[in-house]
Amino acid sequence: EAGVAQSPRYKIIEKRQSVAFWCNPISGHATLYWYQQILGQGPKLLIQFQNNGVVDDSQLPKDRFSAERLKGVDSTLKIQPAKLEDSAVYLCASSLGRQETQYFGPGTRLLVL
């Protein structure tokens, strides 16, 4: 069974530029999560989808971050414009249902200069 796929693995951009991350969850998983993990901290939930609907985006900085999950499968997370403090690892995870075991992708390491 294929795991959660993410791309790109690394990205370096300058502040005020835009960037997009892609996630392909495990087949059949209804719930998809995007987390931001700053070095030395635990993952912070940015947004949670149940199929193609948003369940929780209370910690998503909506003035610059956006995410979508078209057709309830793949998802993209966009930052526009990026700030220095956005430098972090962006993790995507999926699960069969809400509050169940999450399976994480390898993450995308973003560096904003």
Partner 1 sequence: SQQGEEDPQALSIQEGENATMNCSYKTSINNLQWYRQNSGRGLVHLILIRSNEREKHSGRLRVTLDTSKKSSSLLITASRAADTASYFCATAEVADMRFGAGTRLTVKP
Cα–Cα distance for residue pair 6/76, rounded to 1 Å: 10
Q: Which of 22, 28, 20 has the alpha carbon at shortest distance from 5?
A: 22
Q: Which helix (H) or strand (E) holds 79?
A: strand 75-79
CB of 21 to partner 1, least distance (A): 14
CB of 104 to partner 1, least distance (A): 4
**Of 48 and 75, which has the nearer Cβ to partner 1?**
48
Is 25 a residue that touches partner 1 (CB under 8 A)?
Answer: no
- Residues near 51 by Cβ (< 8 Å), separated by ≥ 6? 30, 69, 72
CB of 41 to partner 1, least distance (A): 6
| 105 token code pair | 């992708």
Amino acid at 8: P
> Which of 20, 22, 56, 76 touches partner 1 (CB under 8 A)?
56
**Of 81 and 103, which has the nearer Cβ to partner 1?**
103
What is residue 85's three-state secondary structure? helix
**Of 75 and 107, which has the nearer Cβ to partner 1?**
107
Site size toward partner 1, by CB under 8 A: 24
Residues forming the site for partner 1 (CB under 8 A): 4, 33, 35, 41-45, 48, 55-56, 59, 91, 93, 98-107
